Amino acid sequence: MSDRVIEDARGRQLSLRTLTMLDRLRLFKALGANLSMNDAYLGVASLAASVTAVDGVPLLFPASEAAVEHAVERLGEEGIEAVALALDADDAGAVKALAGN
């Protein structure tokens, strides 16, 4: 999933991209040691960090805990849920392709 647009339940257009390994390292750094070890927090932060724009307005990659929280607040439950569903669908498709089915 790279540079793709999805729609959330509020009708907003969310531009998504796949996080690279470098992105993940930067996210760990932004969150700090404790939050990077918190799977639930890291999961939501990763979903938010995958969004590059909301209705065409850029959403910068978070460089701090406060920036992560801002992105999550901007997306809200509807946005985070839409991103999670899109990523789950991509993962399922990748597994199916690898299995040869």
Residue bearing tokens 């907003």: 12
| Distance linking the first and last C-alpha atoms of the chain | 20
Higher pLDDT, 88 or 79: 79
Domains of the chain: 4-99 (3.30.2220)
Best-predicted range by mean pLDDT among 2-11, 42-51, 88-97?
A: 42-51
> Does residue 80 contact residue 10 with C-beta atoms inside 8 Å?
no
61's tokens = 């990659």
- Identify the pLDDT of residue 3: 76
**Alpha-carbon separation of residue 54 from 6, 25, 66, 69 (angstroms):** 10, 24, 18, 16
Q: Is the pLDDT of residue 34 over 70?
A: yes
Helix axes 21-36, 65-99, angle to 10 degrees: 120
Give the predicted TM-score (pTM) of the model.
0.85
